[in-house]
């Protein structure tokens, strides 16, 4: 088994995300319950992600076997928004690291390590975007307030000279 795992690692094969269920195999045990696991999967070259996006494994319904069939699906995604971009200014926020740690720990994801990483990063991206939208809205609100103050000061200055206390405020 170690030899097999080492070969998978050396070939840089990844396990695609699984949709439609967590398990691909089940059997009854001697205690009357079911034992379920994920033993069926597609391993693909990491290079596939450079040419194709949104590829995943789909679990089909149970049939007469104790294995669920799986298939690879690909859905073409037409980008509707700008790609995700990391903003260095986020690192200056005191709550950034704690937010990211909290969002990362909040998600409980099942599947192979590569599938879990893929899903966690996808969810983290959504959280960062929504957090940034709120941050951007607050920034715009502050800019709007300061712009009004500047206009107010400019309108006073058109009528008269500003006093020393008005200038220093």
Q: pLDDT truncated to tens, each residue of the chain (169 aa)?
A: 789 888 888 888 888 888 888 888 888 777 777 788 888 888 888 776 666 667 888 888 877 788 888 988 877 767 666 777 788 888 888 888 998 999 888 877 777 888 888 888 888 888 888 877 767 777 778 888 888 888 787 777 777 877 888 777 7
Residues 105, 150, single domain; the answer is yes
Count of domains for the chain: 2
Residues 68, 56, single domain; the answer is yes
Residues 95, 162, single domain; the answer is yes
Query: What predicted TM-score, i.e. pTM, was given to this entire model?
Result: 0.40
Residues 42, 85, single domain; the answer is no
Contact between residue 24 and residue 41 where contact means Cβ atoms under 8 Å apart: yes
Q: Phi/psi zone of residue 54: left (φ > 0), alpha (ψ -120 to 50 degrees), beta?
A: left
Residues 64, 102, single domain; the answer is no
Residues 10, 67, single domain; the answer is yes
Residues 85, 42, single domain; the answer is no
- What's residue 146's pLDDT? 86
Domain range spanning residue 71? 1-78
> Which sign, positive or negative, has the C-alpha torsion 18, 19, 25, 30?
positive
Residues 28, 64, single domain; the answer is yes
- CA torsion angle 43 48 54 58 (round to 10): -20
Residues 160, 92, single domain; the answer is yes
Continuous H helices in the chain:
2-10, 48-51, 96-106, 113-159, 164-168
Q: What are the tokens at 149?
A: 């103050």
């Amino acid at each position: 088994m170690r030899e097999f795992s080492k070969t998978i690692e050396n070939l840089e094969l990844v396990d695609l995300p699984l949709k439609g269920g967590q398990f691909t195999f089940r059997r009854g045990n001697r205690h009357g319950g079911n034992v379920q696991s994920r033993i069926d999967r597609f391993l693909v070259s990491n290079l596939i992600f450079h040419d194709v996006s949104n590829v995943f494994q789909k679990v089909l319904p149970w049939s007469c076997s104790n294995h669920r069939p799986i298939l690879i699906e690909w859905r073409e995604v037409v980008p509707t928004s700008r790609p995700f971009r990391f903003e260095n200014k986020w690192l200056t926020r005191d709550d950034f690291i704690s937010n990211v740690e909290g969002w990362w720990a909040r998600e409980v994801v099942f599947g192979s390590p590569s599938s879990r990483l893929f899903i966690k990063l996808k969810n983290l991206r959504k959280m960062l975007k929504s957090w940034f939208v709120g941050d951007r809205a607050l920034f715009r609100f502050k800019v709007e307030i300061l712009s009004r103050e500047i206009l107010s000061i400019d309108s006073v200055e058109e009528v008269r000279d500003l006093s020393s206390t008005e200038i220093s405020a």
